[in-house]
């Protein structure tokens, strides 16, 4: 097993329901960070692979190493 080059974790306070937030952020179509374009091959699940495309750069290929589904999270 190799060590990840980088890892992303994000949190924010919101009045949105946990279900809405989960459904929104697990749909890469909602990942809006121009000029980057995001693609996910498959569902938002461990093992799925994706690509980030930026103008003038080689595509960045990544994968989802771990996901804790909403149903398994403890809600505060």
Euclidean distance between the first and the last CA atom of the chain, given in angstroms as a whole number: 33
Residue with more model confidence, 71 or 23: 23
pLDDT digits (tens, 9 = 90+) for 14-69: 999 989 999 999 999 999 999 999 999 999 999 999 999 999 999 999 999 888 88
Indicate if the pLDDT at residue 72 is higher than 80.
Answer: no
Indicate if the pLDDT at residue 1 is higher than 80.
Answer: no
Q: What is the largest CA-CA distance in the chain?
A: 43
Provide the token pair at 28.
Answer: 């890469």
pLDDT digits (tens, 9 = 90+) for 19-30: 999 999 999 999
Provide the token pair at 19.
Answer: 């279900």
């Amino acid at each position: 097993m190799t060590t990840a080059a980088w890892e992303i974790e994000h949190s924010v306070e919101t009045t949105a329901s946990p279900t809405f937030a989960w459904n929104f952020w697990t749909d890469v179509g909602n990942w809006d960070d121009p000029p980057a374009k995001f693609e996910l091959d498959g569902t938002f699940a461990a093992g799925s692979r994706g690509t980030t495309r930026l103008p003038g750069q080689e595509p960045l290929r990544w994968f989802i190493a771990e996901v804790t589904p909403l149903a398994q999270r403890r809600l505060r």
